[in-house]
Amino acid sequence: MSKKTDSNVYTVIFAIIMVVIVGSVLAYFATSLKPNIDENKRIEKQQNILYAMGINENDESSANFVAASVAGKEFSKFVKEQFVLEVKDDKVIKLQTRKEYMDENSGQEPYLIDVKKQQSLAKEGKTRKLPLFVGEKEGKTFYVAPIYGKGLWDAIWGYVALDQNMVIQGAYFDHKGETPGLGANITQRYFMDDFIGEHLLTDEGDFKGVTVAKGNNDPKNERKTDYKVDAIAGATITGDGVTAMIKSDLQLYVPYFQSLKN
């Protein structure tokens, strides 16, 4: 005579109970840890924006953020204004101040806008929101914009600091799963620093962007108006992703920069 525990019914009931217990435990931890996760994301975005402005703890070769413990204070000190551009069909239809945006979005700061979700809205033909951060350092004004794209294996993103003529003053790039030693090197200083001084606009004011190019024949990156930087060896697709997100995302800000000259 078989035991009750050998029956299929017992197995199914046991499996259901375990799923409920494990699911409840995971849900509890996800809920309890969410505030910490959100806070870490908030600090990371502040660090990214500050890095693009040149506010970091870099040494001679490596890229280092300001410490998490001071990121909020430094962000408040150097970032003077946050704007949100509402864009539909690649055209700016509205410009909101930080206060206006926060009043409409339950107090959410513009720098917490999920750029990936906003891109998805644009693909659906809906209005998207583009954050723009205006900072000041040593008497100089920086305009920092987020960019988001796709590398070889997964998402890549960054922040680019510009002057009023859309000349790059600093950049920070990151990735989710690019190949170590190859595409993952977009986070290295030697790559990010190459973008400093690069022009996005032609002399006539047309948007050109910057191409991550193989065979650029400019190893010291002295030509800043050729709209190119040297590619990373063995990381062609990741480099193409950087090129694409710079051109597609930063072009949307051109009307704002044109307005600065009016």
Mean pLDDT across the chain: 91
The per-residue b/e assignment along 103-129, b for 16 or more CB within 10 angstroms, e otherwise, is eeeeeebbbebebeebbeebeeeeebb
pLDDT digits (tens, 9 = 90+) for 161-172: 999 999 999 999
**Amino acid 8: pLDDT:** 72
Percentage of the chain lying above the pLDDT 90 cut: 75
Helices (H), 57-188: 68-78, 98-104, 115-123
Given a cut of 80, is residue 255 above it in pLDDT?
A: yes
* Whole-angstrom distance, CA of residue 178 vs CA of residue 186: 9
DSSP assigned state of 183: G
Tell me the average pLDDT across 68-85: 96
**Dist CA 42 CA 165 (whole Å):** 29
pLDDT for 28 beyond 90: no
**236/23 Cα distance (integer angstroms):** 42
Per-residue pLDDT, 100: 96
Is pLDDT of 35 > 70? no
C-alpha closest to that of 56 among 172, 152, 134, 151: 172
Average pLDDT of 43-63? Answer: 93
The pLDDT of residue 105 is: 94
Of the ranges 71-85, 87-101, 193-207, 216-230, which one carries the lowest mean pLDDT score? 216-230
Residue 177 is predicted with a pLDDT of 94
Q: Of 18-22, 53-57, 179-183, give the lowest mean pLDDT range.
A: 18-22
Domain-by-domain residue ranges, the chain? Answer: 48-260
Closest listed residue to residue 49, CA positions, set 5, 112, 102: 112
In this structure, what DSSP letter does residue 231 have?
A: P
pLDDT at 115 over 90: yes
Task: Report strand pairing: 79-88 vs 228-230.
Answer: unpaired
